[in-house]
Amino acid sequence: MNMPQSLGNQPLPPEPSSLTALAEGPGATSPPEHCWPVRPTLRNELDTFSVHFYVFFGPSVALPPERPAVFALRLLPVLDSGGVLSLELQLNVSSLRQENVTVFGCLTHEVPLSLGDAAMTCSKESLAGFLLTVSATSRLARLRIPFPQTGTWFLTLRSLCGVGPRFVRCRNATAEVRLRTFLSPCVDDCGPYGQCKLLRTHNYLYAACECKAGWRGWGCTDSADALTYGFQLLSTLLLCLSNLMFLPPVVLAIRSRYVLEAAVYTFTMFFSTFYHACDQPGIVVFCIMDYDVLQFCDFLGSLMSVWVTVIAMARLQPVVKQVLYLLGAMLLSMALQLDRHGLWNLLGPSLFALGILATAWTVRSVRRRHCYPPTWRRWLFYLCPGSLIAGSAILLYAFVETRDNYFYIHSIWHMLIAGSVGFLLPPRAKTDRQVPSGARARGCGYQLCINEQEELGLVGPGGATVSSICAS
């Protein structure tokens, strides 16, 4: 049944005399001279690379002692070649009747083996397959074949009695095994240290595990180079607690009455902390919301912190500054939706904001005919150190940070960026704390003061300054 004509019309090849002697025993019968029937399986497709094969009247299979049982598994081209073919055999010990029975399973591609003697080697001439064994001492056997060859796979099951290396045919023991065969995208869904991904290379579609935290292997089960729990905890704490460096800039911004800037720094600190707590590769992970939302908010907050700091340094008119803040938030949101990991998402807004800053300072210097900011202390103790710290952070982020040193370098990036904000944020504008409210309305203008003093005859022949007249 369901066998090629070239194989169905040929008798089984004779067994070698040495191996036939191993298989013969008391009460053994000679093998039949025809091909054993192949039992088909039912194919149930669940998803991409997810197929279950069901045995009719299964999943338990009874193996009589006189002949093997052969099953056929059909893998379709393209659709089934990119997954993992899994086979599980579990022996029902209660069906052995206290006999020492070993069940051999041989999985071969395209051509089934007769298993007269091949049950112990699963190979014959140029044909070799995958061998599984279950017994009373080892009841469960698993076999996984990543990226299996398409076509028909034949599974031959045979029960023999005795203790290896000598086995004989059983007399009356009918072994019962539970057969489970399925096709899955990845091995055990890649476990806790990996993620199963669907990939495409040219015209080939396949699934594979992307391992994290140093784990390797088909199912991310190889821990030879894995990160320890202590190292994972340390890296998580470094990335999260380094964001506390934003607290001094927040306090400084509030004291200088930059409330909107302080809100942006607080937003950045909050979402950067919880994004890195959710972004860890190992088991030290804590997510308060969806990962994609945390990542977007973290990137947006980082870019907005740079944007509002540079715009605040330009000391523009309040209306112009508010328009630039709102416009920057909308454009940065659009840029992050296009490409979140692009380097120009950081450099583009930074360079544009620096252009606005340079233009504003140049215009103010030309009008005043003096370098702006005017004091050398501002340049020496604030602007130069802040610029050096920010430049060092950008160089580390762009050229030094790699996957291996990410935990350390990115934590240093957090601290440097937050520290540069504390230096670069301008002080409170002097106009905020000068003339009290309503003072100008109560005072007199320049011409009025002159006229009043002249009417009172208080202007001497030597003349008087305007400031002295208005003060009097």
Decide the pairing of beta strands 69-75 and 38-39: parallel
What sign results for the dihedral spanned by CA atoms 390, 391, 396, 399?
A: positive
Looking from the CA of 65 toward its CB, the CA atoms found within 13 Å total 24
Greatest CA separation for the chain: 147
CB 59 within 8 A of CB 157: no
Q: Which residues lie below 8 Å from residue 270, measured CB to CB, with a gap of 6+?
A: none
Peptide bond into 32 cis (omega under 30): no
> CATH assignment of 229-428?
1.20.1070
Cβ-based neighbour number of residue 306 at 10 Å: 24
The answer to whether the beta carbons of residues 127 and 113 sit under 8 Å apart is yes
Rounded distance between C-alpha atoms, residue 361 and residue 364, angstroms: 5
Q: Which of 141, 18, 148 is nearest to 81 (CA)?
A: 148
∠ at Cα 208 (203, 214), nearest 5°? 140
- What stretch(es) of the chain map to CATH 2.10.25? 186-226
- Looking at the DSSP bridge assignments, the partners of residue 201 are 204
Nearest 5°: the CA angle 67, 70, 75 is: 175
CATH 2.60.120 residue ranges of the chain are 33-78+85-164+173-181
Mean pLDDT by 10 residues, the chain (472 residues): 40 38 40 64 87 85 84 88 91 78 89 64 81 88 92 89 76 84 90 88 87 89 89 93 95 94 96 94 89 95 94 93 94 90 79 92 91 89 93 89 89 94 86 47 44 38 42 36
Side chain identity at residue 415, one-letter code = M
Alpha-carbon distance 437 to 385, whole Å?
37
Residue 403's contacts (CB-CB under 8 Å, 6 or more residues apart) are: none
Where are the CATH 1.20.1070 domain residues in the chain? 229-428
Q: Using CA atoms, how far apart are residues 11 and 374, in angstroms rounded to an integer?
A: 103
Q: Are 179 and 73 in contact (CB under 8 A)?
A: no
The whole-number pLDDT of residue 120 equals 67
Cα gap 234→276, rounded to integer Å: 12
What does the pLDDT read at residue 95? 74
Is residue 177 within 8 A of residue 68, CB to CB? The reply is no
Question: What would the two tokens of residue 31 be?
Answer: 């093998």
- Distance of alpha carbon 216 from alpha carbon 227, whole angstroms: 11
- In 3D space, the residue among 376, 386, 398 whose CA is nearest the CA of residue 309 turns out to be 386
Please tell me the predicted confidence (pLDDT) of residue 112.
Answer: 84
Predicted pLDDT of residue 403: 83
Nearest by Cα to 275 from 294, 259, 252:
294
Fold of 186-226: Laminin (2.10.25)
In 38-95, beta strands by DSSP E: 38-39, 41-47, 50-55, 60-63, 69-75, 84-91
Question: Rounded to two decimals, what is the model's pTM?
Answer: 0.63
Q: Residue 367 half-sphere exposure, CB side, CA atoms within 13 Å?
A: 8
H/E/C letters for each residue in 203-221?
CEEEEEEEECCCCECCCCC
- Give the CA dihedral 387, 389, 391, 393, nearest 10 degrees: -150
User: What is the second-level CATH architecture of the domain 33-78+85-164+173-181?
Assistant: Sandwich (2.60)
Question: What pLDDT, on the 0 to 100 scale, is given for residue 296?
Answer: 95
Spatial separation of the C-alpha atoms in residues 440 and 48, rounded to whole Å: 77
Q: Which helix (H) or strand (E) holds 197?
A: strand 194-201
